Amino acid sequence: MDPLKGKYAWTATVGEKGQIVIPKQARELFGIKPGDVLLLLGDENRGIAIPPKDTFTHIFNKAFREAQGDDE
């Protein structure tokens, strides 16, 4: 198995207002559309991660189930 299969790297430039542009190839690959809300995760040692869009829903559903005492 190719250890790099499915792995990508892109660069993005931060503008004066702190905005970044996600490269077209990345937007197409991950189905990112204008108006989408993305979850940014930060770690001072590891950097910033932008998980897939459905992760946001999964995290909140899991958190609310755990808060109510429900198990998956």
1 HSE (CA, 13 A, CB side): 4
User: Which residue spans within the chain are E strands per DSSP?
Assistant: 41-43, 47-49
Give the pLDDT score at 71: 54
Q: What pLDDT does 56 receive?
A: 72
**How confident is the model at residue 70, as a pLDDT?**
59
CB 36 within 8 A of CB 53: yes
Which pLDDT belongs to residue 51? 84
* pLDDT band of 17, cuts 50, 70, 90: very high
Sorted by sequence, the CB contacts under 8 Å of residue 62 that are 6+ apart come out as 72
